Structure 1
Amino acid sequence: MTTAVGKPQQGDAHGNAAVAARARQVVKAYGTGETRVVALDHVDVDIVRGEFTAIMGPSGSGKSTLMHCLAGLDTVTSGEIHLADTEITGLKDKRLTRLRRDRVGFIFQSFNLLPTLNALENITLPMDIAGRRPDAAWLRRVVETVGLGDRLKHRPTELSGGQQQRVAVARALAAQPEIIFGDEPTGNLDSRSGAEVLDFLRLSVDELGQTIVMVTHDPVAASYADRVLYLADGRIVDEMRRPTAERVLDRMKAFDGRGRTS
């Protein structure tokens, strides 16, 4: 994988946007017969490389299911999922696990840090498990980007919630994945800490060339993205470019007369 720290080239020689992940006619259903529930209903979507995409929608709309299917964390009932040029639908478990480890990063709401390891050890843990040495220059750049230079020897209990999530962001970035998926990554943070983490995610796209897909219910969080996808009843029903918190909130109100988004 490249160790360049500049933003990757956007698109091919013809000016077409490079796609980091895509779904084609994806259906995800649970149960059978009268109890069958369709979580995703023939979804088509492209995730553009080097962009920050937010996925929003009411509870039960399928937003988390879509992210989990794109990330290879869940299987599809029918249709195809590709990460770059690799179709992941139908891959055997061992190969899919290796693909997720080598090419995908994850940021979860609950941080998922090991309490016995310090910040630096948590950041490099996935690479240590995979038997890979971190690229020293890239790791230094990531640590500087998320502002953890003076906290690397601290264990999670010695860090604030916002600092813990910054460690989780650095962990996702450090392995230089092709794409990072975030599931409500600021959901457990106060507004100030959440804004700091979102700033770092935005910076990782603008300065480090990262591709990020984030599920969120928060209009402010979504406003950091380049594009917002709206799901309802398992389908993508709208898309917004250059979102603002106000525009996102207005759009979400259309789903529910009370303005509820989660």
Structure 2
Amino acid sequence: MTSAVTIPRHGGTGGTTAVAARARQVVKAYGSGETRVVALDHVDVDIARGQFTAIMGPSGSGKSTLMHCLAGLDTVTSGHIHLADTEITGLKDKKLTQLRRDRIGFIFQAFNLLPTLNAIENITLPMDIAGRKPDRAWLDRVVETVGLAGRLKHRPTQLSGGQQQRVAVARALAARPEIIFGDEPTGNLDSRAGAEVLGFLRRSVDELGQTIVMVTHDPVAASYADRVLYLADGRIVDEMYQPTADQVLDRMLRFSGGHPQTPDFDSRGRTS
């Protein structure tokens, strides 16, 4: 399904890009009265289809809350969220669960693999639960894209952390979701394994046409994205297209008054 709403394509070509998800005047608040905390403060954002978007900001800025609301994992206090042409705010739990299962993929910092299943069984598990048969040609292509062909019969305990996260990436891709959300997907990996996983995510956008939204603290991880959104105090305060790690680090330092926010950045822009 392609949304009728379009946004300008970056690069000044005059074309347009379909919107995979959008938020309009979204407020998310916790508590009431003097204890009320506003995590998202009237956020407007469009997520372009077929692009890789990173969401960054200091701790407590609202970046994970925004991702959870866009993904239908959390409710909004006010405002509207659409997945393509479907408004998800106000959907009943059963409908929302079905929408997340059928149209959205997730990759978390913890790999969330079942230890009793091998790699291929973990990859196809969401489709098995939904009673859907995987598209074999697509599944083979996904497995090839993430480099798991020789590891499909291995259980998670027989795989490295990087390989386990590749299984999680393949699981998210295998059902051909409209959009994939990643919450610090390389946070538990060393820099080499993290770079491999980020490379696979980048390839899934470039070669498979996937749409990815990733929350990250890491400027190096953000440099794999087409676009970086910066949040502060529950608002989008800036964005950057075609970022480099150094540009992202400089921007983060500027927002924090020259002092990196937790977790700290090292001299190469990696989180420590």
- Which category of TM-score, normalised to the shorter sequence, fits these structures? over 0.9
Residues 1:244 and 2:244 aligned together: yes
Which residue in the other structure is 2:99 paired with?
99
Q: TM-score, normalised by structure 2?
A: 0.91
Which residue in the other structure is 1:58 paired with?
58
**Which whole-Å CA distance do the structure 1 matches of 2:185 and 2:21 have between them?**
20
Aligned positions of 1:1-262 closer than 5 A: 15-256=15-256, 257-262=258-263
Change (3 A) 1:87 1:11: same
Query: Residue type matched to 1:192 in 2?
Result: R
- What stretches of structure 1 move > 4 A for 4+ residues in a row? none
Is the 1:252–1:261 Cα contact (8 Å) retained in structure 2?
Answer: no
Which residue in the other structure is 2:270 paired with?
none
Is the 1:103–1:179 Cα contact (8 Å) retained in structure 2?
Answer: yes
Deviation at 1:260, TM superposition (A): 2.2
SS, match of residue 17 in structure 2: coil
RCO (CA 8 Å, sep 6+): is it higher in 1 or 2?
1
**Which whole-Å CA distance do the structure 2 matches of 1:178 and 1:237 have between them?**
27
Deviation at 1:17, TM superposition (A): 1.4
Identity between Structure 1 and Structure 2 (%) = 86
Residue-pair matches, total: 254
Q: TM-score, normalised by structure 1?
A: 0.95
Residue ranges of structure 2 left out of the alignment (5+ in a row): 2-6, 264-272
Is the 2:59–2:261 Cα contact (8 Å) retained in structure 1?
Answer: no
Deviation at 1:261, TM superposition (A): 4.7
**Which whole-Å CA distance do the structure 1 matches of 2:164 and 2:20 have between them?**
27
Which residue in the other structure is 1:5 paired with?
none
Is the 1:229–1:236 Cα contact (8 Å) retained in structure 2?
Answer: yes
**Which whole-Å CA distance do the structure 2 matches of 1:16 and 1:225 have between them?**
19
**Which whole-Å CA distance do the structure 2 matches of 1:255 and 1:18 have between them?**
30
Change (3 A) 1:253 1:142: same
